[in-house]
Amino acid sequence: MDKLDASALRCPLPLIRVKLWLRAAQDGERLRVLLRDPGSRQDIPAYVSGIGHPVEVVIDDAERLELIITKAP
């Protein structure tokens, strides 16, 4: 599983990195993403699920959001 620690990045950089990963990933590959930026915490799950990729929330608290994104076919 790949990992993207975007906790130090502000929107839109985390979303851009997720988009690049989705473009390069093979079907079924997974990405663990760590986010702290409020905009990214809302935008990334909405975007990824909106284009049909499963998103699993691992941690969602006041300090961080941790997701696992699975590249769908």
pTM: 0.94
pLDDT tier for residue 10 given thresholds of 50, 70 and 90: very high
Assign domain 2-70 to its CATH architecture.
Answer: 2-Layer Sandwich (3.30)
Query: pLDDT tens, 26-64?
Result: 999 999 999 999 999 999 999 999 999 999 999 999 999
**Two tokens, residue 41:** 């915490």
Cα-Cα-Cα-Cα dihedral sign, residues 26, 10, 33, 7: positive
Distance CA 47, CA 39 (A): 12
Distance CA 7, CA 64 (A): 8
Active site residue 22: no
Nearest in space to 14 (alpha carbons), one of 72, 73, 64:
64
Give the residue extent of every domain in the chain. Answer: 2-70
**Two tokens, residue 68:** 């696992």
Catalytic one of 3, 4, 5, 11: 11
